[in-house]
Amino acid sequence: MQTKIAQFAAVFCVVLCFATLFAGCQKSDGLCAVEGTVTLDGAPLAEGTINFGPMAGAHGTATGAKIVDGKYSARASQGEMAVSIRSQKRETVQDPERGEMITATELIPDKYNQNSELKVTIQPGKNTHNFDLKTAE
């Protein structure tokens, strides 16, 4: 009986050691899944970018993702994050002196990017944060 207990203990220890080593080898980036939708005046934002950055005085990694057809999927640090959303309309214009030039006009009001009022709290696991932006308020 003691031999079987000793064998079980030995096998258990070996399995536990391998499990510990395997878990230790996996790299965790410390980022949490976050996804959602972005609308501008009620319509899905065709394309743009969304960025998550730690609030002043907080620790974390700034990250971002593309917005396509009003949807985004990103990974962000846990905690309270400032959010910045941008989308630009690009046009090609002819300048008599410089030739063909590309101009970009920001479609999103400053209060959602340069002077962003947006913030979210990122929790461990999967997070969903939707943003309904307005051009006039």
* pLDDT, tens digit, 9 for 90 and up, residues 98-117: 888 888 899 999 999 999 99
Q: Whose CA is closest to 112, among 58, 56, 60, 39?
A: 39
Chain-centroid distance of CA 48 in Å reads 13
- As a whole number, mean pLDDT of residues 11-19 equals 41
Cβ atoms of 65 and 37 within 8 Å: the answer is no
Q: Mean pLDDT highest for which of 17-31, 62-76, 84-98, 100-114?
A: 62-76
Cβ atoms of 74 and 52 within 8 Å: the answer is yes
97/7 Cα distance (integer angstroms):
86
Q: Whose CA is closest to 76, among 67, 84, 86, 65?
A: 65
Residue 34 pLDDT greater than 70, yes or no: yes
Question: What is the pLDDT at residue 1?
Answer: 52
Of the pLDDT bands very low, low, confident and very high (cuts 50, 70, 90), residue 91 is confident
Residues paired with 10 in a beta bridge: none
Amino acid at 72: Y
131 or 10: which leads in pLDDT: 131
Give me 57's structure tokens.
């005085």
Determine the topology of domain 31-133 in CATH. Answer: Immunoglobulin-like (2.60.40)
Question: What is the pLDDT at residue 2?
Answer: 53
Give me 133's structure tokens.
């932006």
47/72 Cα distance (integer angstroms):
10
Mean pLDDT (the chain) is 83
Task: List the chain domain ranges.
Answer: 31-133
